[in-house]
Amino acid sequence: MSADAVRVWLEDVMDPEIPVLNVNELGVVRDIVWSEGRLRVDVTPTYSGCPAARVIEAAIEARIREGGIDEVEVRRVLTPPWSSTWMRPEAREKLRAYRIVPPEPDRAGGTFPWSRPAPRIECPACGAPEPERVSEFGSTPCKAQYRCTRCLEPFEYFKCI
Amino acid sequence: MTAPAASGAGVLTDGERLSLALRMGDSALVLGHRLSELSGHAPVLEEELATANVALDLVGQADLWLRLAATLLDDGRDADALAYLRDGPQFRNLLLVEQPNGDYGHTLMRQFLFDCWHFYFLAELESGADAACAEIAAKGAKEVRYHLERSSDWVIRLGDGTDESRVRMLTAVERLWPYTAEMFDLSAMFPAAAERVSQNWRASVAAVFAEATLDVPEAGWAQRGGLDGRHTEHLGRMLAEMQFLQRAYPGAQW
């Protein structure tokens, strides 16, 4: 079984917190290599304390065993640290359809370390620009909370790291 | 993002690396636990989520540092054993982070003073020559930027808020300031980087305090000891709760 074929299996392993994205789309599977008869899968966490990380690692290992490979080691790697820019383009569209606005590059301006300008995003419900940032912290480590200033719909934004 | 460039910290001996890993890991763990105490008690829902998220990041970072410490110790203890089975005098955290939460102004002032130092020190470690520390710092730095933005925002909002909130922030500064010097003892493990950490911290604190209409205190008595295991009375009580389960039911698994 080639590493590429294993990579395809991992399309079945979804992020438990954002179940529309699989681990490949999220960009957390860094390497899949055969070494001395053992398959090694390098996985990187999105945030250092993310509770989903362990669940994802266990699910990856389970999926590979289900494919018939017993000699498998899922290894946690930190370098380079995960970046929200690693998310695949199709993942961004899936997030949007799930009503989570995908990450956009930071805008210049503001006064460090406070008052960073909000990213250029639109309300996923009505499309109005310049939503209001409610909090940089949300229901999971990777999301911030925003509110549309036109239709008042609250929504989540996948923040940049 | 206009954080000044860091040019990095040097390479450590194994002994120094262990010392750093314990001091960073214990500081992140203790502050993470203090914030966890607020779960279900934050003043507004958004802050409930923010507090829990910052706690989660810090406990995650503590896990990374304490794993490194466990590898260096190589005495059969893992990160969990270090967190749950050491006594107070074996903890190497900053005194600042073990201080009780107090009112929410006090909680946020403690957070801001720490976040600001944490942010600049991690930047030095990240660009430094010690690979084992640099990779943990690089991971943490991305998270700490968000912590610092939040705590800065709140210090400004409450300092330049109502008469009541301003008085509380002034009281918090007065109570917590003596514990700030110890942070620079920790970054002094890297003489080349220490001065930059100190300057960056002072500049950011001065800018945020100016916006918050708070005065930066004069240098005064500095309370030290946490880095060497001499703690305030508050740590023991915190550990009694944090370690209860592992002490009462040794080897318990989740």
Q: Encode pLDDT of B89-107 as tens digits.
A: 999 999 999 999 999 999 9
pLDDT digits 0-9 by tens, A57-111: 999 999 999 999 999 999 999 999 999 999 888 999 999 999 999 999 888 888 8
pLDDT value at position B124? 95
The chain A residue lying nearest B2, using CA atoms, is: A112
The number of beta carbons lying within 10 Å of the beta carbon of residue B30 is 29
pLDDT over threshold 90, residue B8: no
CB A157 within 8 A of CB A143: yes
Given CA atoms B189, B194, B200, B202 in this order, what sign does their dihedral have?
positive
pLDDT digits 0-9 by tens, B107-153: 999 999 999 999 999 999 999 989 999 999 999 999 999 999 999 99
Instruction: Give the predicted TM-score (pTM) of the model.
Output: 0.94
Contacting residues for B149 by C-beta, under 8 A, at least 6 apart? A113, A114, A116, A136
Can you state the angle between helices B233-242 and B14-36, rounded to 10 degrees? 80
Say whether B56 and A47 touch across the interface (CB within 8 A). yes
Please provide the DSSP assignment of B57-90 as one string.
HHHHHHHHHHHHHHHHH-SS--HHHHHHS--GGG
Mean pLDDT confidence for B244-251:
93
Q: Is B119 on the interface with A (CB under 8 A)?
A: yes
Question: DSSP 3-state assignment of A14?
Answer: strand
Mean pLDDT confidence for B16-24:
97
The residues of A whose Cβ lies within 8 A of any Cβ of B are 45, 47-51, 78-81, 106, 111-116, 134-139, 141, 145, 159, 161
Chain A residues in contact with B47 (beta carbon < 8 A): 135
pLDDT value at position B191? 86
Q: For chain B, what percent of residues have pLDDT higher than 70?
A: 97
What is the value of ipTM here, to two decimals? 0.91
CB B34 within 8 A of CB B100: yes
- Chains A and B form CB pairs within 8 A to the count of 90
Q: Which of A46, A106, A107, A114 to mutate to test the interface with B (most CBs of B within 10 A)?
A: A114
Q: Report the half-sphere exposure of B160 (CA within 13 A, side-chain side).
A: 11
Chain A residues in contact with B152 (beta carbon < 8 A): 113-114
pLDDT value at position B1? 40
Chain A residues in contact with B54 (beta carbon < 8 A): 137
Q: Is B202 on the interface with A (CB under 8 A)?
A: no
pLDDT over threshold 90, residue B2: no
Nearest Cα of chain A lies from the Cα of B153 at a distance, in angstroms, of 6
Query: A35 phi and psi, to 5 degrees?
Result: -145, 115
Q: Report the half-sphere exposure of A16 (CA within 13 A, side-chain side).
A: 11
CB B161 within 8 A of CB B45: no
Instruction: For residues A130 and A118, give the distance between their C-alpha atoms in angstroms, rounded to a whole number.
Output: 8
Nearest Cα of chain B lies from the Cα of A37 at a distance, in angstroms, of 27
Nearest Cα of chain A lies from the Cα of B69 at a distance, in angstroms, of 16
Q: Which of A83, A112, A143, A161 to mutate to test the interface with B (most CBs of B within 10 A)?
A: A112
Contacting residues for B59 by C-beta, under 8 A, at least 6 apart? A49, B28, B29, B32, B33, B36
The number of beta carbons lying within 10 Å of the beta carbon of residue A122 is 16
Average pLDDT score, chain B: 94
Instruction: For residues B240 and B250, give the distance between their C-alpha atoms in angstroms, rounded to a whole number.
Output: 14
| First-to-last C-alpha distance (Å) of chain B | 40
Nearest by CB to residue A135, choosing from B3, B49, B139, is B49
Instruction: For residues A36 and A33, give the distance between their C-alpha atoms in angstroms, rounded to a whole number.
Output: 10
Nearest by CB to residue B139, choosing from A81, A106, A145, is A81
Q: Which residue type, as a one-letter code, is found at position A142?
A: C
Nearest by CB to residue A47, choosing from B49, B57, B138, is B57
The chain B residue lying nearest A144, using CA atoms, is: B50
Nearest Cα of chain B lies from the Cα of A41 at a distance, in angstroms, of 19
pLDDT over threshold 90, residue B252: no
pLDDT value at position A113? 87
pLDDT digits 0-9 by tens, A20-34: 999 999 999 999 999
The number of beta carbons lying within 10 Å of the beta carbon of residue A11 is 12
Say whether A81 and B211 touch across the interface (CB within 8 A). no
Say whether A111 and B146 touch across the interface (CB within 8 A). no
Say whether A48 and B3 touch across the interface (CB within 8 A). no
Nearest Cα of chain B lies from the Cα of A50 at a distance, in angstroms, of 7
Nearest by CB to residue B46, choosing from A78, A80, A135, is A135
pLDDT value at position B7? 60
pLDDT over threshold 90, residue A143: yes
Q: Report the half-sphere exposure of B13 (CA within 13 A, side-chain side).
A: 2
Say whether B149 and A48 touch across the interface (CB within 8 A). no
Instruction: For residues B23 and B188, give the distance between their C-alpha atoms in angstroms, rounded to a whole number.
Output: 13
